[in-house]
Amino acid sequence: MSYQAPVEECQFILNNIVGIEEVTKTERFEEATPDVIEAILNEAGKLCTDVLAPLNRNGDLDPARLENGVVRTSKGFGEGYAAIAEGGWIGMAADPEFGGMGLPLSVTTAVNDMMAGACLSLQLNPLMTQGQIEAFEHHASDELKALYLPKLISGEWCGTMNLTEPQAGSDVGALRTKAEPNGDGTYAITGQKIYITWADNDFSENVCHLVLARLPDGVPGTKGISLFIVPKLIPNADGSLGEHNSLKVVSLEHKLGLHGSPTAVMEYAGAKGWLVGAPHGGMAAMFTMMNNARLGVGTQGIGIAEAAYQKALAYALDRKQGRVGGTGSIVEHADVKRMLATMKADTFVARSIAFACAVAIDLGNATGDAAHKARAALLTPIAKAFGTDAGLAIAELGVQVHGGMGFIEDTGAAQFSRDVRVTSIYEGTNGIQAMDLVARKMMDGGDAAFAMIDEIEAFAESARSTQGALAEAVWQASENLRETTEWLVAQDDMNDRFAGAVPYLKAFARVLGGYYHLMAAQKGGTSRQKIARFYINRLLPEHKSLLAQVRVGNGDLADLTPDDLVA
C-alpha cells in the first residue's frame, strides 16, 4: 500500500478534538466554513497522495547535488514544487492583500502534516517560505512587503532562514556575520552560515535569505542582532530580477537522511541586504519565524509517523510468519499488535497536540485574547518536541515491524527513520524546547499550564459516567501533573527545573494524550474507543515515572564531574 493522505483523520481531530469551530466563528476566519475546509483538505490529500508521495523515494536515491555552483534537485522535485505553488498551498495562511488565502493556521498545519508524510524532503521548502512570509507580515516595511510577499506567496520566489554559524549554534548571540551600511539604505552582509535548508534550487526564479547579522553598533550577544533580507538575485523596484548578489552556496552537507533537501554552507561577501524590522531587533523577528517553524517541524514528525505507520501496517497485514490464527499474517501476533497500536495511538496524540496549538494560535490572532496566546505559547514546545520524538520512535517501530526487511533499504522503512531524525534537532533541540517550557513558559507562575490541567480534569469529570475507569485514570494523571507543576514553579534555582525539563515535557504530552484519547472515545466509534483504552492503560502510566524524575531536581547531576563521566 502506498501512502494515503490521512484526510479523514485530520478532519476528525479538527472537528471533534481541538474545536476548530471556535476559530471559524470569529470574524477573521468566518469564510473558512466546514465545507470549505473539507474541500481544501480533500484537494490537498489528492496532491499529496498522487503527486508528492511518488517523489519521496526519488529524493533518497537521487540526492540534491552541487554542480559548478548550481544546486541540482532530485528528479521530479521541480514538477512537485510547481504543483504546490500553482495550487496556492504555500500562502494558505498568508494575508489576502498580497495573494494569500487568509486561512486559519490550523488548516495549514493539517495540509503540512499530509505533505510531510508524502515527501518531507520537498515539503521543507514551502515550510521555510511560510516562515519567511510570517516574519515579513509582522516585521517588514510596507515597501519590502509589497515587493517580496506576492512573489513568496505565489511560490515564484522561495525563502530561507540563515541563523546558524560554525561557532554559533543554539547560542545565536555568538554569531559573527557583519552588516555594514552602504549609505543608500542597504547593507553589505559578510559572513558564513551553515545548515541552511533549501539554500538554493533549480526550479524557482529567486531564493530570498533572511540572515541574522550584527550592525557596527550592535552590542555583543542577542541584543545586538539585526535581521536582513538578502536575495540571491537582486530585484528591481518592479519585481523583475537584476544582478546576482555577492553570495554563494559553498557546499552541500552529506546527511543521514533527507537527501532530496539540499542543506548548504552559505557564504556572504558584502552581499546587498535590506533591514527587516528595527535595528538590533533581529531576535524578535527570528522568534516569529522560529515559533512558526517549531510547530511546522513538530508537524513534520507527525507526517513521518503517519507514513511509517501506514507502511508497517501494510507489511504486517501481508506478511505470513509463525503460527497465528485469523489471517495467518503477523498482524495477529500480540507484540506486533502492540507496536502498531502504539504507533497509531501516539500519532493521534502528536497530531492532536499540534492541531490544538494551531487552533490556539488562530484564536489568539483572531481575538487578541491573552489566554489563547498563552495556550499557544505553552503548547508550541510540546508540539515540537513530542511531535518529533514520536516521529523518531514510530519510524523506529516501523523498522521493527518489518523485522529483517526493515533493515533493507528496498522496503523504504529505513528511509523514514533516517529522514525524521533531524527533526528533533531542527529549530532548537528538544532539550531546548523542554527548557523553554519550564522556564519562559512558566514565567506566569504556571497559570497557562494550570488552565490546561483544569480543562483536562473538567472533561474527565464529565466523562466518568460513560468512560468509567478510563476517565478516572485521566483525571488522576492530570492531578499528578498539577502537583508536579506546583513543585516545579516553586523552584528558584533554574537548574532544578532544567534537570527535569525533558521528562516534564514528555509527561505533559502523555497527559494531553490521555485527554485527547478520552475525548475520541466519547465522540468516535468502536475502534477509537479500543485505541483509547490501549493508550490510557498502557502508555499514559508512563507519566508517573517521568514526573518522578522531574522532582529529583539537579542534585545528582550537579554532583557529577567530567571525570566521573570519563571513568
Q: Which residues are catalytic?
A: 427
- Enumerate the H helices of 155-227 as residue ranges: none
CB atoms within 10 A of CB 1: 10
Asked if 246 contacts 271 with a C-beta cutoff of 8 angstroms, the reply is yes
CA 214 – CA 268 distance, rounded (Å): 13
| Nearest CA-CA partner of 271 in 187, 193, 371 | 187
3-state secondary structure 321-382: CCCCCCCCEHHHCHHHHHHHHHHHHHHHHHHHHHHHHHHHHHHHHHHCCHHHHHHHHHHHHH
Phi, psi (5° rounding) for residue 83?
Answer: -65, -40
312 closest CA partner among 391, 389, 417, 395: 395
Name the pairing type of β-strands 157-162 and 178-181: unpaired
Contact 160, 208 (CB under 8 A): yes
* Cα distances (Å, whole numbers) of residue 541 to 110, 243, 474: 29, 61, 10
Element spanning 548, H or E: helix 542-550
Q: What is the rounded (10 degree) CA torsion for 324, 327, 332, 337? A: 170
Inter-CA distances, 468 with 311, 386, 475, Å: 35, 28, 11
Inter-CA distances, 340 with 308, 335, 395, 413, Å: 10, 9, 11, 14
For residue 42, give the C-alpha cell: 480533500
Q: Helix (H, G, I), strand (E, B), or coil: what is residue 136?
A: helix
DSSP 3-state assignment of 474?
helix
Rounded Cα distance between 344 and 308, Å, is 10
Q: Residue 82: count other Cβ atoms within 10 Å of its Cβ.
A: 14
> Residues 183, 232: contact at Cβ < 8 Å?
no
